[in-house]
Structure 1
Amino acid sequence: MPALFFQQQLVITKHSVQPFNANTILLFDAQQLNVDEFDLNALLSPFELTVITRRKSYKAKQEYLATRLLLKYLVKQTMPQFRDLANNHISSEFDQQSSKLLLHITDSDTVLRSCLSHSNGFVGAALNVERIEFGFDIEKINLKRPFAKLAKHFYHLDEVNLITQDQQSAERFFRIWTLKEALAKATSQPIAKLLSPNVFTELERANLTALSCQYHEFDISVVSDKSTDWQCSVVNSTAQLRGVLNF
């Protein structure tokens, strides 16, 4: 199996307010947010307000708010016609038919595809303006999990052999996991259907490109059918979002 799947290919940069590649995944530590400090009525649509209200844990509320701030920021940065739009006029709603998270713009026919991922308070958000097959996933590398046992139970035998052949079992286990999750999102398939097949074979069969990397203790993978110039941009503070979102 090509060794490139375990190499650091996905570029990660520090985010700035300068124009950036439209194929950008914004990364952010949602645990920085104090949800109670924000005027949620001004930031979230009525639908989003009902969703965040139903979130039971504080971490879940942080992750939900963070991902929506990132999405609205991306809309305003990549689509100048919406730069002055009120934040609560951009609404994220999951579409069961397409299995995609769609962004609806109030009083507009514009509907945008998007993709989100989160793990242990660390979140990512991206727009899919070109409506291509695209998905990404973030997963924290937990060194205490029984990788070999889990792999033998869920993964393809070839994947199990890759995981158990050397000392990089944790890194290989989570790289394969994020690839499977990203592939599931790109192709709108349930992750359960992609656990046992060989993910490298599935990527080749679907003619999809994969890029991956590690950022601190997290593994990140991107799967796409067109562009190979996807990159990640780390937002270090909410101050970097305030100038565009005006909150």
Structure 2
Amino acid sequence: MTEMYTLKNSFADHIIWDGPVYELESNQIHVFDIRISMYLQRLDEFISLLSPDEIARANRYFQQKDRERFRISRGMQRIILGKYLNLPACSLQFKLDNHKKPFLLNDTSEIYYNLSHAADVILLVISTAPIGVDVEYINPDFPYQEVIKDHFTQEEISHINEMNSSERFFKLWTRKEAFLKATGQGIGDDLKLYPTLDGEHILQKNVVSNSQNWQQLSFKLDENYISSITSCAGKISYCFSKPD
């Protein structure tokens, strides 16, 4: 008999953004909303924290906005993770795992993190268990009808087309991407295999390599952005923060 695991999807109608807390409890997820436009004046500071490899990667971006986004995301990532580990931000060392997902070489407490960006937003999530996040700008002009037939089930397509189509499309899309990032499956896999409608779904073992139950929370940062977080932690509590 094929062993089965569950994926539970839910949506938070209202979230409260609070001050940052840099101590992580078991089964807790910390979410940091970083606005690129608010940190442009600190670019020199961020560059001073980056490794030579990170600086080289930033310089390979053709457009200035992409170079700035990379420097801010890596700089803030270092600053925030450094506070959890009580280490200088510039001392953190990162490495890619077999799925090309970065992890901390400095970490002895098994902190998991993931990062996503869209337009002016960088979203960083930190947990004690494997985690994935995706954030998207809700673009009403995006031609999602060209995408849904190849990557969504008929039930998901009907849900998208019922009402608030752009918002519903991006909600379900962030769930698919966040799930793949959390499990390390890779975006090239068949996205129809990963259920995104609200409620609890059965996942067969041959669909996901991680033998665990998963849950996803979707929420709107504001009227322009929507995000989903995937985790295999137990009874999860969330802390939504605007960083210092």
Q: Scaled by the length of structure 2, what TM-score is found?
A: 0.77
Deviation track 1:67-118 (CA, whole Å, cap 9, x = no partner) reads 22332232233223x2xx2x3221344x15133112334xx87885431100
Contact 1:31–1:59, Cα closer than 8 Å, also in 2: no
Distance 1:76 1:10 in 2: 30
Letter in 1 for 2:185: Q
Change (3 A) 1:188 1:19: closer
Contact 2:182–2:231, Cα closer than 8 Å, also in 1: yes
Instruction: Report 1:14-33 matches (<5 A).
Output: 14-16=18-20, 19=22, 21=24, 23-33=29-39
Contact 1:48–1:92, Cα closer than 8 Å, also in 2: no
Contact 1:30–1:122, Cα closer than 8 Å, also in 2: yes
Percent sequence identity is 21
Question: Could you list the runs of 4 or more consecutive aligned residues of structure 1 that deviate by over 6 angstroms after TM superposition?
Answer: 108-111
Three-state SS of the structure 2 residue aligned to 1:146 is coil
Pairing partner for 2:90 from 64, 88, 91? 88
Letter in 1 for 2:155: D
> What RMSD, in angstroms, separates the aligned Cα atoms of the two structures?
2.9
Displacement of 1:10 in angstroms is 7.3
**Aligned length in residues:** 222
Change (3 A) 1:127 1:46: farther
Change (3 A) 1:31 1:54: same
Contact 1:71–1:127, Cα closer than 8 Å, also in 2: no
Three-state SS of the structure 1 residue aligned to 2:58 is helix
Letter in 1 for 2:242: V
1:144 maps to 2:141: yes
Distance 1:171 1:68 in 2: 29
Match of 2:227 in 1: 220
Distance 1:233 1:214 in 2: 14
Deviation track 1:171-207 (CA, whole Å, cap 9, x = no partner) reads 2111110000110011101123142224248964262
Distance 1:109 1:224 in 2: 20
Q: Scaled by the length of structure 1, what TM-score is found?
A: 0.77
Three-state SS of the structure 1 residue aligned to 2:114 is strand
1:127 maps to 2:126: yes
Distance 2:79 2:45 in 1: 16
Displacement of 1:211 in angstroms is 0.7
Distance 1:55 1:190 in 2: 23
Displacement of 1:31 in angstroms is 2.6
1:115 maps to 2:114: yes
Distance 1:37 1:221 in 2: 28
5+ residue gaps, structure 1, are 241-247
Distance 1:89 1:170 in 2: 42
5+ residue gaps, structure 2, are 1-7, 204-211
Change (3 A) 1:102 1:151: same
Change (3 A) 1:65 1:10: farther
Match of 1:245 in 2: none
Change (3 A) 1:74 1:194: farther
Letter in 2 for 1:115: N
